[in-house]
Structure 1
Amino acid sequence: MSNVIAAIAGGLFDEGGVSAFSRPVLFGTAGDAVLGALPKEAQTCYFAHDERENPIAGAESIPLAENRFASFFSLTDAEQVIVIAEPFALAEDDALEHLIESHTITGYGVSVLVAEQQGFDAEGQPIPADPAVLVAVFTGKMLGAALASGADTLDALVEAAVAAGAQKGVAVTNEIVAIRDGASAYVAQLAVQNRVNFGLIQNGVQLFDPTSTYIAPDAEIEPGAVILPGCHIRPGCKVGAKAVIGPNSILEKAQIGAGTTVNNSQVYESTVGENVTVGPFAYIRPQCVVGNGCRIGDFVELKKSTIGDGTKVSHLTYIGDATVGERVNFGCGTVVVNYDGYHKNQTIIGDDCFIGCNTNLVSPVKLGDRVFTAAGTTVTKDVQDGALCVARARQTVMDGWNDRRRAAHEKEKK
């Protein structure tokens, strides 16, 4: 199929001036939900709107005419045009694909998508069928004829096309949720959430509780992965086979390798390798790369750093603007001191290093391979391969000092 375009008519606002296409729906907007439901045949999408509405990412903006649909006169040279009158969510992800397929096979001039049923609201009550047509596909010729009639609703456009000689086709889906206000946006989110989650379950992903698991439609999760309750897997994520995410984890533009566990932790715009354990309560900030077989433990924060294969960062550690080698062990309380108040500086740590507890690495600094830092050390100068670095005051013991102090205070009380 060639030359199929989509045309979305904006200009829908509630009494508070909120655009229907801007309503939030599962990590995006209602406009994003519509764009995500379009079939691959519709390679170009246009959104007619004015300055009151934000653009829809991935759609080309065109000026909104006073008659919302008159904005599409310039698109009638296309072979087929999918016209969308208002935002909606579909329970079936291939509903629009079937609409276009049936429209093309029959050769009709116009075809509409209708709901066999409207599903159920948040209280489990059936939603009455919506008589209005929300989406229809026209041949370019018939759309031009319908627009020439001056029709200002999609229903009227369909009737005008039929009056101009078009045969009308009907494709049926099991649920269409129109998004017109906050309540309907929430119901639409439930429809999208169910569609995404049960699609993953059918594909071999284990979701313990789909009702408390929120996964973006574009997330790629391989069969065999396990998603525990309370997780938010936002747009742009990839999760490998046999990975375990959660409970209560957040991923955003994150790539998680096969066999990796992310427990009660957050990963943003970063890549985590295979067979890694993350968390609980770890925070991986953007631009991090964690190698295979690593341990990123509790209350560990990474920022703009690369961690080599097999490195263990077990607990209470901050690593920022650093390149860390393989098989490094970080003791508890280590801090990479990367910020001097004006600049973020780099730290480089070689392979097979042992970083003692409560070490401060004051950037910029470089540790060679096999370096050992003693507990409590503050490193301010480069350390060569195989060295021990000790930078702390010698221990001084003053016998009886605290007993004398306590006795003096007890005497004052009397």
Structure 2
Amino acid sequence: MKKMAIVLAAGQGKRMKSKLYKVLHAVCGKPMVSHVLDAVRGASCERSIVIVGHGAEAVQSTLGVGGSIEYALQAEQLGTGHAVMQAKPMLEDEEGVTIVICGDTPLVRSETVEAMIALHLQQGASATILTAELNDPAGYGRIVRGADNGVLRIVEHKDCSVEEAAIKEINTGTYCFDNRKLFQALNQVTNTNAQGEYYLTDVIGILQSEGNAIAAYLVDDPAEAIGVNDRIALGEAERFMRLRINRGHQVNGVTLIDPQNTYIESEVKIGADTIIYPGTILRGQTSIGSDCIIGPASELQDSSVGDGTTIRQSVTEGAEIGEGCNIGPYAYLRPGTKLGQNVKIGDFVEIKNTVIGDGSKVPHLSYVGDAVVGSNVNIGCGAITANYDGYNKSKTEIGDNAFVGSNSNLIAPVKIGSGAYIVAGSTITHNVSDNDLAIARQRQVNKPGYAEKIRARARIKKEEKQSD
């Protein structure tokens, strides 16, 4: 049985009050429409037709072209039925089932779509409606069921009788159709209504009037019914998605000390027995190994972290961190950072576009950029690589087992050999060979009693200023 999906993503989303097209607003780091496409792909839909309108170019640029994703343009927004009709040239001759789903429903899970399709096939239905039970169903169309639990009709909220208004089961706006019957029924839909629009819900009535079975699948989690039309609903979707993501990691053996204050985006991967402390934000394509300690108050984006690493009160972006490393507090690892195993990056250290070998240490108050640092190197407090001359960035190379003393400046391009020793306070402008000691600072001169002369001069100047 062929499975297809039509994703409705043509609405403007005026209530979002945003320059960004509605379905591109992110929920836990991913555009809403991407969550929806993940759900239908996870349910084995072979083709996904995205109906675009406002912001069509932005949607296509975000989702890409090719693979299972195709696009159809709804130039005028004339209702949900009209939107689905834009896929007719692409799908009307296909045999199979078609999911119709809105691109602003990011919480629908692939397991739910699969279960709805299974019910659809089991009951031999021509259409199946995804429904949910809400404590407050105001504003939603109600599902009226018959004695056999089959669907009799969908009644819009404004048309409900007192009895119908008390029904808590609502139409979520997600459907499963026999594909051929869907487009045959759409040909009969008219726009003779107050809005002058073609409604997809009319297809249900048409199919039913022709004697076709209509089924309904009641979703377990009512949150999956959330459609995002404004920033309030966006915040609610974010909250529910974050809770779902966090629980998934906990089930897989990750300890979240305070899940309510831990933000993990949808693509993040975390190994078992890792502990995440409060205030931690994990974004993008971040991957964390097992037995790590992350946080508190750390932010990792698009970074990989090896097993057994600790990161406290620090920020990483596009960094690769090996096993057994100790990062922070208050370190900043920028894009291009690659740390070997058992590396120590201490407080107020910034690393950028640099490879650091196993067992090396940059304990505190240092900047290392555009560098290659060997194994078992010690870079002292306040040392920096001066990699930028205002026009070009140059490389610093430091060999294995080298020692760079505190408050040293390494002026790139420069090479420090293996086992070399840079004396504290030096400004190194020339290469240092293996096992050499380099001193580059002016000889100290002490002037006896001169400090008192400076203070006396300062007092005289102060008195002269006050007398003026």
Change (3 A) 1:307 1:178: same
Whole-Å separation in 1 of the counterparts to 2:238 and 2:136: 13
Partner residue of 2:418?
A: 369
Partner residue of 1:146?
A: 185
Change (3 A) 1:3 1:253: farther
Cα deviations across residues 58-98 of structure 1 (Å, max 9, x unaligned)?
Answer: 55433125322212212332633221135124376622232
Partner residue of 2:158?
A: none
1:17 Cα deviation from its structure 2 partner: 5.9
1:268 equivalent among 317, 320, 323: 317
Partner residue of 2:71?
A: 61
Partner residue of 1:101?
A: 118
Whole-Å separation in 2 of the counterparts to 1:94 and 1:22: 23
Question: Is the CA contact 1:338–1:347 (under 8 Å) kept in the aligned structure 2?
Answer: yes
Structural mapping, 1:250-269, within 5 Å: 250-269=299-318
Structural mapping, 1:181-196, within 5 Å: 181-196=230-245
Whole-Å separation in 2 of the counterparts to 1:65 and 1:368: 66
Whole-Å separation in 1 of the counterparts to 2:95 and 2:452: 93
Moved more, 7-16 or 356-365: 7-16
Whole-Å separation in 1 of the counterparts to 2:373 and 2:135: 55
Task: Indicate whether 1:241 and 2:290 are aligned.
Answer: yes
Change (3 A) 1:165 1:259: farther
Count how many residue pairs are aligned between Structure 1 and Structure 2: 406
Question: Is the CA contact 1:86–1:179 (under 8 Å) kept in the aligned structure 2?
Answer: no
Task: Indicate whether 1:81 and 2:98 are aligned.
Answer: yes
Change (3 A) 1:374 1:116: same
Whole-Å separation in 2 of the counterparts to 1:157 and 1:219: 40
Task: Indicate whether 1:72 and 2:74 are aligned.
Answer: no
Q: Which has the higher helix share?
A: 2
1:311 Cα deviation from its structure 2 partner: 0.8
Percent same amino acid at aligned positions?
31
Question: Is the CA contact 1:145–1:164 (under 8 Å) kept in the aligned structure 2?
Answer: no
Partner residue of 2:213?
A: 167
Moved more, 148-157 or 203-212: 148-157
Q: Tell me the C-alpha RMSD between the 2 structures.
A: 2.5
Whole-Å separation in 1 of the counterparts to 2:338 and 2:135: 45
Change (3 A) 1:60 1:38: same
Describe the SS at the equivalent of 1:156: helix
TM-score (norm 1): 0.90
**Paired residue type of 2:31:** T
Question: Is the CA contact 1:312–1:330 (under 8 Å) kept in the aligned structure 2?
Answer: yes
Question: What are the ranges of 5 or more consecutive residues in structure 2 without an aligned counterpart?
Answer: 77-81, 138-166, 191-197
Whole-Å separation in 1 of the counterparts to 2:286 and 2:455: 60
Whole-Å separation in 1 of the counterparts to 2:365 and 2:291: 27
**Paired residue type of 2:215:** G
1:276 Cα deviation from its structure 2 partner: 0.7
1:239 Cα deviation from its structure 2 partner: 0.9
Whole-Å separation in 1 of the counterparts to 2:459 and 2:382: 36
Instruction: Point out the structure with max Rg over C-alpha.
Output: 2
Partner residue of 1:4?
A: 3
Whole-Å separation in 1 of the counterparts to 2:323 and 2:335: 18
1:411 Cα deviation from its structure 2 partner: 5.3
1:158 Cα deviation from its structure 2 partner: 3.4
2:174 equivalent among 124, 135, 153: 135
Whole-Å separation in 2 of the counterparts to 1:184 and 1:209: 24
Describe the SS at the equivalent of 1:42: coil
Describe the SS at the equivalent of 1:287: coil
**Paired residue type of 1:61:** Y
Partner residue of 1:26?
A: 28
**Paired residue type of 2:241:** V
1:410 Cα deviation from its structure 2 partner: 4.0
Whole-Å separation in 2 of the counterparts to 1:295 and 1:97: 48
Question: Is the CA contact 2:351–2:369 (under 8 Å) kept in the aligned structure 1?
Answer: yes
Structure 1 runs, 4 residues or longer, greater than 6 Å off: none
**Paired residue type of 1:72:** A
1:303 equivalent among 329, 352, 377: 352
Question: Is the CA contact 1:134–1:154 (under 8 Å) kept in the aligned structure 2?
Answer: no
Question: Is the CA contact 2:132–2:171 (under 8 Å) kept in the aligned structure 1?
Answer: no
Describe the SS at the equivalent of 2:120: helix
Whole-Å separation in 2 of the counterparts to 1:261 and 1:143: 55
Partner residue of 2:389?
A: 340
Partner residue of 1:46?
A: 49
Whole-Å separation in 2 of the counterparts to 1:369 and 1:290: 18
TM-score (norm 2): 0.80
1:183 Cα deviation from its structure 2 partner: 0.7
Whole-Å separation in 1 of the counterparts to 2:251 and 2:301: 23
